[in-house]
Structure formats: structure tokens, C-alpha cells
């Protein structure tokens, strides 16, 4: 049974206790987000992921041209220069078409980039560890995770493979996740890794949504292969699992939304669940979850704070859950979209996404960083 609690053990090794509040959302702390300088901001572009290692920062995405459904997409990449400006990086050999969907930078400072073709059904990996070698993979990667020298990439596949693993340059081995029988859209939305293990989550928005074949799934891999984990959400038939974070000791944060499509309107309520190392589940109370809509990304920072990217449409929120405190709203972005959060080695929290017009169409790529 899922417990709704006000106090819970923290995810990380330090013996901290964190409180959750079901009061009205607090006013933002003396912090927020500031837009950072881009040397180029092409129309129709969006950043889909961002990563850091040492003084190096890379943001990846795509630029769209034309009118849907006949749009074409061009990979787009920018690097952080010493002056703090994000500039297009022509040193990375990019395909002529498609998307750059995810990026990771190893402890040695080498980048690994995932992308997808225009159909979104297959993908590729650009691996700098051996001179930007390119590898075809049977999935459109959505999320990288790393632990020591091991990299994993997970995403959407029309076949049986939903992840690939690399323990050395130019070595990418496919992995099959144990989706329920009958779940048609085998998409993994997010992947996380740490010394506590690996976790992947996803959902099938075209499935039946029965307890035997739930819409949403969570997988764990703690050295014994991928295992499907039961989540205490009543079969999860109306849940979307969008984001996951693994603590250093194996605790798991699982974010997404409860959905209700009855009554002629789509309703989303943001949800955040905690699975302890012992396997117990707790439901974390978010401030005004119907306003937050969805938890789309989870970042567990170096100092133990948890950052949540929440929202839908043209209104997004950066939420912060500090050790010893409640969940508060750090910043509100209107006319924008958050695609991914990241932390640089100096502790700065970064946001990658896009600026939108009044109709919700993408205007141009954007990066923000947390202040305060």
C-alpha cells in the first residue's frame, strides 16, 4: 500500500529527514531562472538534453523547418565557451538530418550523444571516446545514465530492445526490458543510474490500462539484470511515468502524472512516488499538483536537494525539495518548455528547452540557469 507521509528517510547516504507539505504552494524562494546567452538561436530549434563534466558543457537538440506534417529536422549542438556563451560546435560531425535527443559526458570529459532519424523509430550514437565513431542502434534514445565507466541509453523501440549498454568505447550491446505481455508501445521515457543501481520507467499510452497490462512500468537493475517492479498505484492504468531518479543507496524517485480523460477534457495531476531501499512505497504530496500537471524530469543534486521540472503546454515550473524542508516553487516559466535538467560541477542547476509562441509552437532553443 502506498503511504502518504509528511516525513521520510532521505534517498542519499546522509541521515537527513525531509518534510513534505500539503499546504498551498509557498512563494518562490529568493531564487529563480535567468536566460543564458546563446551565440545562435535558430528559429524552430529546441534543446532536448544538456550535460556537464569539468568545465565542459554540451546541449543537444534539433531545428525544424517547414510546416507539419512535412517538416524536416536538422541536428543541433552547442557547447559552453569560457565566456559563458553557448556556441554552435562545428567540431562534432553530425548527421545531415534527424534529432539529437540525449547527451552524456564521461568522467574523462568525452561526450557520447544519442540521436534518432526523422521517423523516430531507429537511432544512432556518436561516441567521442574513440574519435566520434558512429553506431546504429535499434532504438530512438531518450535518456542517458552513467555510473563509473558504464553508460546506458534507453528509449523507444518498435522491436524488443529498449536499452543499450556500453562499458568501453565502440561497444554497444542491446538490452531487452521485461515489458508486460500485450503492451504495444514499448517506450522508456527516462533512465537513471548511480552506485545504488539503475532504474528505467515508461508508459504505453495506447494500451488497455488493466492491472494485468498496466499503462506504466518501472524497471530496476541492481546487478541481476532488468526486473519489472510492481508500483503501488492500483494497477497504474491511468498513470504516466515520465521521470525517475536513483539515489546512491538505491532509493528511487518516480515522477509523472495521474490522468483522467473522462468528461470531454484531459486532466493531469502531477505525481511523485518514493520507493525505499527496502521496497516500501510512499506518495509525496506536491503543492497544487493539478497546476503542476506532470513531473517531467527529476534531478538529484550533489547537495542532496531534488529538483523537479513540472508542467505542460506553455507553463512550466522548477520545483525544489531541499534536505530538511518542503517542496517549493523555485521558478515559473511561461511561454516556454523545459526538456531536461542538469547540474554542473560547481553546483549550478541548468535547464534546457525552448521558447514558445502564444499557440505553443516552438520559437527557438533556450537555456536557463538557476540563480539564488
Of the candidates 141, 117, 118, the one whose C-alpha atom is nearest the C-alpha of residue 127 is: 141
Reduced to 3 states, what is the DSSP secondary structure of residue 84? Answer: coil
Q: What distance in Å separates the CA atoms of residue 162 and residue 156, rounded to the nearest whole number?
A: 6
pLDDT of 79: 96
Instruction: Tell me the C-alpha distance between 288 and 270, whole Å.
Output: 9
CA quadruple 48, 332, 36, 42: dihedral sign: positive
pLDDT of residue 25: 40
Residue pair 353/363 in contact by the 8 Å Cβ criterion: no
C-alpha cell at 13: 547516504
CA–CA dist 260, 272 (Å, integer): 17
Model pLDDT, residue 31: 57
Give Cα 340 to chain centroid, integer Å: 6
H helical segments located in the chain:
289-292
**Cα angle: 112, vertex 58, 309; to 5 degrees:** 100
Confidence at residue 30, expressed as pLDDT on a 0 to 100 scale: 39
Q: What are phi and psi of 290, to 5 degrees?
A: -70, -25
Q: What phi and psi, each to the nearest 5 degrees, are found at residue 127?
A: -115, 110
Q: How far apart are CA 364 and CA 98, in angstroms?
A: 17
Q: Tell me, what's the pLDDT at 206? A: 63
Residue 61: Cβ within 10 Å count: 27
- pLDDT of res. 122: 81
pLDDT of residue 128: 95
Residue-wise pLDDT for 208-254, tens only, equals 555 556 678 899 998 889 999 999 887 677 888 999 999 988 999 99
Domains of the chain by residue range: 1-30+177-334, 33-158+337-372
Q: What is the pLDDT of residues 106-140, one digit of tens each?
A: 888 999 999 998 776 689 999 999 899 999 998 88
**Which residue stretches of the chain have pLDDT < 70?**
1-31, 120-121, 159-160, 182-185, 205-214, 235, 261-266
pLDDT at 232: 84
> CA torsion 368→247→295→240, rounded to 10°?
140
Q: Cα–Cα–Cα angle for 307, 185, 94, nearest 5°?
A: 65
Amino acid at each position: 500500500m502506498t503511504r502518504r507521509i509528511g516525513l521520510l528517510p532521505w534517498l542519499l547516504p546522509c541521515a537527513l529527514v525531509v518534510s513534505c507539505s500539503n499546504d498551498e504552494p509557498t512563494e518562490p524562494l529568493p531564487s529563480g531562472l535567468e536566460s543564458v546567452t546563446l551565440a545562435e538561436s535558430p528559429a524552430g530549434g529546441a534543446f532536448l538534453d544538456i550535460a556537464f563534466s569539468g568545465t565542459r558543457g554540451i546541449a543537444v537538440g534539433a531545428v525544424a523547418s517547414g510546416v507539419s506534417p512535412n517538416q524536416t529536422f536538422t541536428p543541433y549542438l552547442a557547447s559552453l565557451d569560457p565566456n559563458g556563451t553557448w556556441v554552435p560546435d562545428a567540431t562534432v560531425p553530425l548527421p545531415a538530418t534527424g534529432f539529437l535527443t540525449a547527451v552524456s559526458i564521461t568522467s574523462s570529459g568525452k561526450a557520447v550523444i544519442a540521436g534518432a532519424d526523422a521517423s523516430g523509430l531507429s537511432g544512432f550514437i556518436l561516441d567521442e571516446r574513440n574519435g566520434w565513431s558512429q553506431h546504429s542502434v535499434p532504438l530512438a534514445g531518450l535518456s542517458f545514465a552513467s555510473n563509473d565507466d558504464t553508460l546506458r541509453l534507453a528509449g523507444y523501440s518498435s522491436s524488443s530492445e529498449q536499452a543499450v549498454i556500453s562499458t568501453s568505447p565502440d561497444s554497444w550491446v542491446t538490452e531487452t526490458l521485461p515489458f508486460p505481455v500485450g503492451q504495444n508501445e514499448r517506450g522508456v521515457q527516462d533512465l537513471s543510474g548511480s552506485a545504488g543501481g539503475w532504474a528505467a520507467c515508461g508508459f504505453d499510452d495506447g494500451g488497455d490500462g488493466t492491472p494485468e497490462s498496466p499503462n506504466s512500468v518501472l524497471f530496476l537493475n541492481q546487478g541481476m539484470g532488468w526486473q519489472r517492479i510492481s508500483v503501488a498505484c492500483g494497477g497504474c492504468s491511468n498513470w504516466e511515468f515520465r521521470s525517475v531518479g536513483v539515489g546512491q543507496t538505491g532509493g528511487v524517485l518516480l515522477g509523472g502524472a495521474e490522468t483522467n480523460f473522462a468528461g470531454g477534457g484531459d486532466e493531469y495531476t502531477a505525481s511523485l512516488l518514493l520507493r525505499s531501499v527496502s521496497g516500501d512505497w510512499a506518495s509525496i504530496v506536491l503543492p497544487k499538483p493539478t497546476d503542476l500537471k506532470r513531473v517531467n524530469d527529476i534531478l538529484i543534486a550533489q547537495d542532496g536537494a531534488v529538483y523537479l521540472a513540472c508542467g505542460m503546454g506553455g507553463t512550466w515550473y522548477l520545483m525544489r525539495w531541499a534536505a530538511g524542508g518542503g517542496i517549493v516553487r523555485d521558478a515559473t516559466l511561461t511561454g516556454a518548455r523545459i526538456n531536461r535538467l542538469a547540474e554542473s560541477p560547481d553546483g549550478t542547476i541548468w535547464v534546457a528547452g525552448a521558447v514558445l509562441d502564444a499557440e505553443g509552437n516552438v520559437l527557438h532553443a533556450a537555456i536557463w540557469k538557476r540563480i539564488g
